[in-house]
A = this chain, B = another copy of it.
Amino acid sequence: MKIIVLKFGGTSVGTLSKITKVAKVIASYAKKKYKVIVVSSAMSGVTNQLLLKTKKISQNFPNEEKDVILSTGEQISCALIAGKLNLLGYKSRSWLGWQLPIITRGKYSSSRIIKIQKTKIIKYLKSGGIPIVTGFQGINSDFRITTLERGGSDTSAILCAKFFNAKKCIIYTDVEGVYTTDPNLTKSAKKINKISYEEMLEMASLGAKVMQPASIQEARLNRIEIDVKSTFSKKSGTTITKKRNITGKNIIRGISFTKNDAKLTLLGVKDKPGIAASIFKPLYENSINVDMVVQNISAGSKETDLTFTIKLEDLYKTRKLLENNKSINFRKLIVNKNVSKVSIVGVGMITTPGVSYRMFRALAKKKINIEVISTSEIKISVLINKKNLKKSVEILHQEFKLSSSL
């Protein structure tokens, strides 16, 4: 059976007229004799509206019931799509998480799919039906509704592709694919034709936001090739695939950046073993994500300076936690809210020396000061003053020739 999985994101099904468009896209694959499995998100904004209801009752609204509420978003969008396909003359129906079932494990509101029962869907496909499966949800061993992490519909789609052994998984969204950098920042941004899972992971977690990072990780583990493309355009999108399928001469594939970071520096921290752990433990316990970390080890001195970055939204809480932390001792806390992180990403840099040098030189030429540096195998990130963000991205885009064919 030539199965294809099509996933539609919230903006793709955001209005009733868009649902009609989605139904037509689905129909075009059904006509090509594919067996189509559709996975849909909730209509855009709906999940947040539902979440707001629970928050208005309490910020501590129990997750068990929150999941029951949030899951209605996909229930509605899937039924609307199936209904529209019926009206267009296709056999189609909504399949809710519990109807297959999609089996999950873990905590409510952040469950993981461990299995998708195939029998009923395979039977339905064989009968000529187009199943519209609810993303973002499943049931657990208590027969209760669970939801995945936010954006989990991508993962639902990838795992449908895995369990049904699909030939292809196409993620339909509101952008035409993955870009070398944010097209809203610079016109020189270019659509990438092919990108590796690893690069995409670095791009996604750094803010490219086309797909949920966990879903890309699932695709990577299961070697599922993904096409990302726009619901509203006929243009080809971006293929996310294995490293060895990536050709082309470019070392760097994309430049991502953050806009809402804050840099904190603790001056004159009394240095002793385990001091970093003492500083970061309360942050970890409060789910505050620490990103870049630099510690100046001052030889001979009993004091050290520690710099790290967090999301701007966590600043207030972080400050309180640091100031109330009795187990550490520091002279001064300096906060800088005007920072951005710019990262260059590419599997090519592993085998190509001098990439970081080229990055630093390009920035230095334009007198852009680098405040913090961090690197991984396929990524180099620098922290700069926010006012230099656009200029930096453009310089690096040019330096690594990202406007040329990808």
Contacts and interface: CB of A to CB of B under 8 A. Distances in A.
Interface of A: 16, 19-20, 50, 53-54, 56-58, 60-62, 64-66, 68-69, 71-72, 75-76, 78-80, 82-84, 86-87, 93-94, 96, 98-99, 143-145
A20 B57 contact: yes
B57 A84 contact: yes
Contacts of A71: 75
A143 B87 CA distance: 22
B72 A87 contact: no
Given A69-B75, A72-B75, A75-B75, 17 more contacts: A16-B53, A20-B57, A57-B84, A58-B84, A60-B87, A65-B82, A65-B83, A65-B86, A65-B94, A66-B79, A66-B83, A68-B78, A68-B79, A69-B76, A69-B80, A71-B75, A72-B76
A144 B129 CA distance: 15
Given A65-B80, A65-B82, A58 B87 contact: yes
What copy number does this chain have within its complex? Answer: 2
Contact of A16 (B56, B60, B62): B56
Contacts of A60: 87
Contacts of A94: 65, 68
Nearest to A82: B65
Given A75-B72, A93-B65, A80 B57 contact: yes
A179 B79 CA distance: 41
Nearest to A23: B57
A144 B80 CA distance: 15
B62 A83 contact: yes
B72 A93 contact: no
Contacts of A20: 57
Q: Indicate the member of A57, A71, A78 with the most B CB atoms within 10 Å.
A: A57
A20 B58 CA distance: 11
A75 B78 CA distance: 16
Nearest to A76: B69
Given A16-B56, A57-B16, A87 B68 contact: no
Contacts of A145: 96
Nearest to A94: B68
A139 to B, nearest CB: 9
Nearest to A87: B58
7 contacts: A16-B56, A57-B83, A58-B84, A60-B87, A64-B83, A65-B83, A72-B72
| Residue among A69, A84, A94 with the highest chain B CB neighbour number at 10 A | A69
Given A16-B57, A58-B87, A68 B50 contact: no
A75 B212 CA distance: 27
A10 B72 CA distance: 18
A144 B54 CA distance: 27
A71 B57 CA distance: 22
A69 to B, nearest CB: 5
A62 B82 CA distance: 9
Contacts of A50: 76
A78 B86 CA distance: 30
A58 B80 CA distance: 10
A406 B56 CA distance: 43
A389 to B, nearest CB: 41
A76 B143 CA distance: 17
A87 B16 contact: no
B76 A62 contact: no
B61 A83 contact: yes
A118 to B, nearest CB: 16
A366 to B, nearest CB: 52
